[in-house]
Amino acid sequence: MCGISGCIDLNRKISDEVIVSMNDSLKHRGPDDSGIYISDDRNVALAHQRLSFLDLSELGRQPMKDNSGQVVISFNGEIYNYLELKEELKANYSFETHTDTEVVLAGYTKWGIDVVNKLEGMFAFALFDSKKQKLFLVRDRFGIKPLYYFLSGSTLVFGSELKAIVYHPAFARQLDYSAFCDFFIYRYVPSPKSIWKNTYKVSPAQYVEFDVNNLSFTSAEYWQPEFSDKKIKPADLASQVDTILLDSVKKQLRSDVPIGSFLSGGYDSSSLVYYMHRLGYKPSVYSIGFKDWQESEHNYAKVVADKFKLELEVTIADGNNLNLLDEMPMVYDEPLADISIIPTYMVSQLASKKVKAVFSGEGADEIFGGYTWQKNFFAMNESRSWNEKIRNWFKPVDTVEYYANSMAMGIFGKDELKNFLQPEYHQHIPDDLNWFFRKQFKKGLSPLKSVQHLDMKCFMGEMVLTKMDRASMFHSLEVRVPFLSHKLYETVFAHDENSYYKTDVTKYLLFENVKKHLPEKILKREKQGFVGPAEYYTNMDWYRKILSKSKLAEAGIANKNFISEKLQANDYWILWKLAVMEKWFEKWGN
């Protein structure tokens, strides 16, 4: 895994100092090596910080050129089917390395940018075709790897993280106050916005094509899972899922360095450990616990580790770790209010001391129907009593409104936003607070699939994967997510939901494949999010310490009285969002 950055400047020659400073800001994403490419006219630059897994020699250095020397790439990610693609391409391309990056270059020479449709994996890359004078910014199907860009006048700047863009002299630190409002609604800034004006995310499953001569651009979404209602015996679908998962784990174990695994003791991470065991691989495993909490995940992780005779390392969190929020603005250089940002940071730090990569279970709940709100929405729409059926017929549940309420964790409605913001900022409050959910809502799907799709595009794509990438890469740790195989999603979504969802069996398709291989204590464990005990997030003295002298209020953005009222009311989920933004603003907003 790596950090990529670069720029195009049509009016000025790009200086070494600028591109070096941008690249250095991402050193945590790839401390093993670095490289810079600047075009002969010094109008185009690509930079790279390398975290090496394949071909550890200098031949794997990036930015990398193709055989012709006319196509240059700075690549972040892993292509898991690179060996299969290399076999297909080698008749017409002379490979000089053993890297997956060169396979992407070879694929581009044959298929053009349609090479993205051939790739299995997680990736974000910048590809400059000097002959066609095109620059492509590309992001993987689910948004596992990040990519931002700033576009203003004659300058384009891009990077894996916003901090790289901030180092460019053309960048102006101007808050996008519509994105600022969105953060309090969603807990993140939804794509394609970023917290800064004129700065955008490349959305998941998207590429943006720039004409290097004038910076005009077009964008395209290159993938969406196809939804269908094919009938199949659930047991047969479970068998297909087993085959796909085993293949995904096998491919993602390809590496020239050891791979570990996060282990929470839940279905998802425990299943990955089982599949690794099935392939004869014995990973070191890492977990986080919470002091004096009976439901602490590390207790369950030990049960699984003992079952497979694995070395388990644990870090224990307590109330003092809340002070790590001071460091989060450097980790998450765009505000992110997921409540597990600190635990994820801590367990990533733990694992990074021993390995360069770990497996993690993101994506399983989305595709197998493991979230509480998915189950509740299915039940609401599959009511069995005639009274409920008649009520649902005349007044169906609004999927977007339901989903917004499920995601809120401290609702900021229009009244709250108006009371929070000083009047001059009210113009930035969106007319439709749920605009992003509505944008991602896919009409015509069954109720369960509609929520699963929203989870894939919103909760997972915008928050969970962002959290995981920043927390891990800050410690130079790559996280591989075998459940996020597009073949798995396409296979499941192609079938009627009754083929894969059972109200009485949690994550039926996964359960069927692990029920004989995991301890009973794990199989019977109820779903628990990656959170600590309630008191961990309800320390009012800690909130008062952060918010009593609010920088947002001092800057004339926030209403101090609103903050005081929320402190008096002990409204800790709203206070959590305020605390996250407060710390971010202290670091970046002034």
Q: What percentage of residues in the chain have a pLDDT greater than 70?
A: 95
Instruction: Name the active-site residue from 2, 7, 181, 458.
Output: 2
pLDDT of residue 260: 97
Q: Rounded CA gap, 430 and 397, in Å?
A: 23
- Which of 198, 221, 244 is the C-terminal boundary of a domain? 221
CATH number for the domain spanning 474: value is: 3.40.50.620
One domain for residues 342 and 261: yes
Q: Rounded CA gap, 360 and 204, in Å?
A: 19
One domain for residues 471 and 329: yes
One domain for residues 16 and 92: yes
Q: Is residue 388 part of a domain?
A: no
Q: Is residue 245 part of a domain?
A: yes
**What is residue 358's three-state secondary structure?**
strand
pLDDT of residue 387: 56
pLDDT of residue 159: 98
Task: Work out the pLDDT band at 107, boundaries 50, 70, 90.
Answer: very high
pLDDT of residue 527: 64
One domain for residues 215 and 239: no
One domain for residues 139 and 251: no
Q: What is the pLDDT of residues 231-281, one digit of tens each?
A: 999 999 999 999 999 999 999 998 878 899 999 988 899 999 999 999 999
Q: What are the b/e assignments for 554-565, b being 16+ CB within 10 Å?
A: eeebbbeebbee
Q: What is the pLDDT of residues 368-382, one digit of tens each?
A: 999 999 999 998 887
Does residue 47 surpass a pLDDT of 70?
yes
One domain for residues 194 and 249: no
Q: Which residues contact 371 (CB under 8 A, 6 or more apart)?
A: 365, 455, 527
pLDDT of residue 57: 55
Q: Is residue 425 part of a domain?
A: no
- Overall number of domains in the chain: 3
One domain for residues 278 and 203: no
Does residue 134 surpass a pLDDT of 60?
yes
Average pLDDT over every residue of 120-140: 97
- Which of 221, 249, 273 is the C-terminal boundary of a domain? 221
One domain for residues 321 and 244: yes
Task: Work out the pLDDT band at 383, boundaries 50, 70, 90.
Answer: low
Choose the weakest-confidence range: 48-52, 159-163, 187-191, 415-419: 48-52
pLDDT of residue 382: 73
pLDDT of residue 397: 77
Question: In the block, which residue shows the tokens 């892993």?
Answer: 78
Q: Is residue 569 part of a domain?
A: yes
Choose the weakest-confidence range: 89-98, 323-332, 357-366, 412-421: 89-98
Q: What percentage of residues in the chain have a pLDDT greater than 90?
A: 83
Q: Give, for 568, the enclosing helix (H) or strand (E).
A: helix 560-568
Q: Which two tokens stand for residue 24?
A: 């250095």
pLDDT of residue 106: 97
Q: Is residue 121 part of a domain?
A: yes
Does residue 52 surpass a pLDDT of 90?
no
Domain range for 579 is 539-590
Q: Is residue 205 part of a domain?
A: yes
Average pLDDT over every residue of 423-442: 97
- Side-chain half-sphere exposure of 207, counting CA atoms within 13 A: 22
State the pairing for strand pair 155-159/148-152: antiparallel
Q: Phi-psi category of 187—alpha, beta or left, where left has phi over 0 and alpha has psi -120 to 50?
A: left
Q: What is the pLDDT of residues 268-324, one digit of tens each?
A: 999 999 999 999 999 999 999 988 777 778 888 999 999 999 999 999 988 889 999
- Which of 221, 249, 270 is the C-terminal boundary of a domain? 221
pLDDT of residue 388: 54
**What mean pLDDT, rounded, does the chain reach?**
93
pLDDT of residue 478: 95
One domain for residues 54 and 123: yes
Catalytic, 7? Answer no
pLDDT of residue 393: 54
Q: Is residue 298 part of a domain?
A: yes
CATH number for the domain spanning 167: value is: 3.60.20.10
One domain for residues 473 and 546: no
Choose the weakest-confidence range: 135-144, 283-292, 390-399, 481-490: 390-399
One domain for residues 209 and 284: no
Average pLDDT over every residue of 179-203: 98
Q: Report the chain's terminal Cα–Cα distance, integer Å.
A: 32
Does residue 34 surpass a pLDDT of 80?
yes
Q: What is the pLDDT of residues 484-530, one digit of tens each?
A: 999 999 999 999 999 999 998 999 999 999 999 999 988 887 765 55
pLDDT of residue 175: 97
Q: Is residue 430 part of a domain?
A: no
One domain for residues 526 and 554: no
Q: What is the pLDDT of residues 446-479, one digit of tens each?
A: 999 999 999 999 999 999 999 999 999 999 999 9
- What is the DSSP track for 209-258? EEETTT--EEEEE---PPP--B---HHHHHHHHHHHHHHHHHHHT--SS-
